[in-house]
A and B are shown apart, each in its own frame.
Chain A
Amino acid sequence: MSEPRYLRPDAAGEASALAAGDAGAVFLAGGTELVPWLREGLRHPTTLVDLGRLGLDQVEPLPDGGLALGATARLAAVARSELVRARATALVEAIESAAGPAIRASATLGGSLLQLPRCPYLRGGPPSPCELRRAGSGCSARTGDHRVAAIFANEGACVAAHPSDPAVALAALDAEVELLEPAGARRLSLDELLSPTRPWSIGGPLAGGGLITRVLLPAAHATERSAYLKARDRASFDFALVSCAATATLDGGVIRRLGVALGGVASGPWRCRVLEERLRGRSPGPGEVRDAVDAELAAADPLEDNRYKVELAARLIVRALTRVGVS
């Protein structure tokens, strides 16, 4: 492969325009995800657009009471921020459960959302068929090792689960992603950016261009209790088998607002809207909570060797709800 061109623009608009005008351009931020892509031949950029000089690494309060997290803010810096710690426990716990301190000190919030699957057939595994490496070649995980694969929306070509911990917390917290495109800026919900029913693609959800500039936490959840729980094979430095983020507003035991999202179960964070709908306005006991959990997970479509994730998800949801004061 020939050496890619390297560009380091000073303004977000310039970075966005450079990428939009160059089909071979890939953004570079912390590098902890991009370098493996290059090494494993997952992407073959002809241009690297370095986002390091855009000044998008700040955490700032918004006039409406929300909080703006810069897309190139390092995960460690986001988790250390007093502004974040004061209002988004789930996000802090999600970040602190992700990778190890050296990776968290380099990896950025925006980059975390745009990771590719950790499927062994995609990443440095044997030369087995992989739909993401070559469309139409078949998915080795579907019939092979799929213990860590998705349990929702598995009818697509690839059965990998999204690996990001922060994305799950951000989904529960109703975060929005601010996107800069040549046509202008727009906002997407986490669901829109990382829809859990969307098929994976090697180019990612922003393959057509588009630069994440900020992640916006709404004012609505600023005083809520929130939590992030993560089940994994190792006690640390491992991706989630299943994770759960929850945030709730209670009024005398009655649930006024509830946000619950699962990680490790789909191609994006799985927002538990069936469960939220059932429990809103209720003061549920353990039986009612479990019924709502089961109703949510009724849509699960696990593979042969990851059926365990359904019960694991159920128990994580119950524990996360307990952490935020429900039941």
Chain B
Amino acid sequence: MRIDLTVNGGSRTLEVAVGATLLDLLRDQLGLTGAKRGCDRGECGACTVLLDGRPALSCLTLAVSIDGSTVTTIEGVGAEEPHPLQTAFVEHDALQCGFCTPGQIMAGIACLESGASDSDERVRAWMSGNLCRCAAYPQIVAAIRSLHR
């Protein structure tokens, strides 16, 4: 199947298998390996991207179903200089191994844009689908909260 996508600002026409997920497409066809294949079953959030501006788990999204959509991955964030949330993650020491961080940043950006960043409790609930095995959770919450407007 042929689909048209806008990926990180660039238009792409892609041939995709019907069973291929957006994560397969990003990592294996486009070489965009920022979104991570953690659980590959929607439980860890490491593959989170923005799909038409909303957060999406790329491992649970069939590529054929998003023909015409706009996808933003971590590679499309802070390409010139770090996104404010990336800077906040560094300042708050919100990562250790970094494997989950691309997904955390994408989910965190969506959290800030949704307005759900107005309390620690709401940020924790919003981010609860993004696991961090290094358990940097308090710092992740603090980094997101620091940018709440």
Q: Is the pair B1, A6 in contact by a Cβ cutoff of 8 Å?
A: yes
Interface residues of B (CB under 8 A from A): 1, 17-19, 21, 40-42, 45, 48, 51, 54-57, 59-62, 64-65, 67, 107, 110-111, 114, 116, 124-126, 128-130
Given A35-B21, A101-B110, A235-B128, A6 and B54 contact (CB-CB distance below 8 Å): no
9 of the cross-chain contacts (CB-CB < 8 Å) are A3-B17, A4-B19, A6-B18, A31-B61, A39-B41, A50-B65, A102-B107, A103-B129, A106-B57
Specify which of B40, B45, B116, B124 is in contact with A102 (CB 8 Å cutoff): B45
Question: Taking CB as reference atom, which chain B residue is nearest A33?
Answer: B60
Residues on B with C-beta less than 8 A from A4 are: 18-19
Q: Is the pair B18, A31 in contact by a Cβ cutoff of 8 Å?
A: no
Interface residues of A (CB under 8 A from B): 3-6, 8, 28, 30-32, 34-36, 38-39, 48, 50, 52, 76, 99-103, 105-106, 124, 234-237
Q: How far is the CB of B19 from chain A (nearest CB, A)?
A: 6
Q: Is the pair A103, B65 in contact by a Cβ cutoff of 8 Å?
A: no
Q: Is the pair A100, B45 in contact by a Cβ cutoff of 8 Å?
A: yes
Q: Is the pair A103, B17 in contact by a Cβ cutoff of 8 Å?
A: no
Specify which of A3, A52, A124 is in contact with B65 (CB 8 Å cutoff): A52
Q: Is the pair A237, B17 in contact by a Cβ cutoff of 8 Å?
A: no
Question: Taking CB as reference atom, which chain B residue is nearest A28?
Answer: B65
Q: Is the pair A105, B19 in contact by a Cβ cutoff of 8 Å?
A: no
Q: Is the pair B60, A31 in contact by a Cβ cutoff of 8 Å?
A: yes
Residues on A with C-beta less than 8 A from B41 are: 36, 39, 124
Residues on B with C-beta less than 8 A from A35 are: 21, 42, 59-62
Q: Is the pair B57, A101 in contact by a Cβ cutoff of 8 Å?
A: no
Residues on A with C-beta less than 8 A from B45 are: 100, 102
Question: Taking CB as reference atom, which chain B residue is nearest A38?
Answer: B19
Q: How far is the CB of B17 from chain A (nearest CB, A)?
A: 6
Q: Is the pair A101, B62 in contact by a Cβ cutoff of 8 Å?
A: no
Residues on A with C-beta less than 8 A from B60 are: 30-32, 35-36, 103, 106
Question: Taking CB as reference atom, which chain A residue is nearest B55?
Answer: A102
Question: Taking CB as reference atom, which chain B residue is nearest A53?
Answer: B67
Q: Is the pair B129, A101 in contact by a Cβ cutoff of 8 Å?
A: yes
Q: Which 8 A-B pairs have the closest CB atoms?
A: A100-B129, A237-B128, A102-B55, A236-B128, A105-B54, A6-B18, A32-B60, A236-B125
Specify which of A36, A39, A48, A234 is in contact with B128 (CB 8 Å cutoff): A234
Question: Taking CB as reference atom, which chain A residue is nearest B116?
Answer: A101
Residues on A with C-beta less than 8 A from B61 are: 31, 35, 106
Q: How far is the CB of B116 from chain A (nearest CB, A)?
A: 8
Residues on A with C-beta less than 8 A from B59 are: 35
Residues on B with C-beta less than 8 A from A234 are: 128
Residues on B with C-beta less than 8 A from A38 are: 19
Q: How far is the CB of A276 from chain B (nearest CB, A)?
A: 32
Residues on A with C-beta less than 8 A from B48 are: 102
Q: A28 to B63, alpha carbons, bound, how many Å?
A: 12
Q: Is the pair B126, A101 in contact by a Cβ cutoff of 8 Å?
A: yes
Question: Taking CB as reference atom, which chain B residue is nearest A29?
Answer: B65
Q: Is the pair B65, A36 in contact by a Cβ cutoff of 8 Å?
A: no
Residues on A with C-beta less than 8 A from B125 are: 235-236
